[in-house]
Amino acid sequence: MNMDAPTFSYFQELMNIAITAGDTREAVEQFLAALRQQFVFDNVAVYLQDEKTGTLEIAYARAVGRAKNAEADADWGETFASQHLPARCLPKVDCY
């Protein structure tokens, strides 16, 4: 697969943020700011799965864009995550 120069440059920017950011929260904030330049999303949730119980816990959640004023009421995608994380695949990519 060939990438055009602007796409490759953008991908490099994202990878550079992921590699060089020290503090985890700071890395996520920087990554999301860069991601928002090209992708539209209203909220983000990062889940961690307990290795023993398999339960999901939100490690990071943030409302941006249109949803930032309704953060407390936002749907953080727990149903979606709990359905697809155990299968270790994304819908319409690896599972279907």
What is the phi/psi pair of residue 2, to 5°? -100, 140
Nearest to 28 by CA among 49, 50, 44: 44
What are the boundaries of each domain within the chain? 1-39, 41-96
What is each CA distance from 44 to 7, 14, 24, 76, in whole angstroms? 23, 16, 15, 7
CA 95 to chain centre: 20
List, in sequence order, every residue forming a beta bridge with 60; answer none if it has no partner.
46
- The tens digit of pLDDT for each residue in 46-93 reads 888 788 887 788 888 888 766 566 555 556 677 777 776 665 554 554
Alpha-carbon distance of 90 to 31, in angstroms, equals 21
pTM above 0.75, yes or no: no
- The tens digit of pLDDT for each residue in 27-50 reads 888 888 899 889 888 888 888 878
CA 92 to chain centre: 18
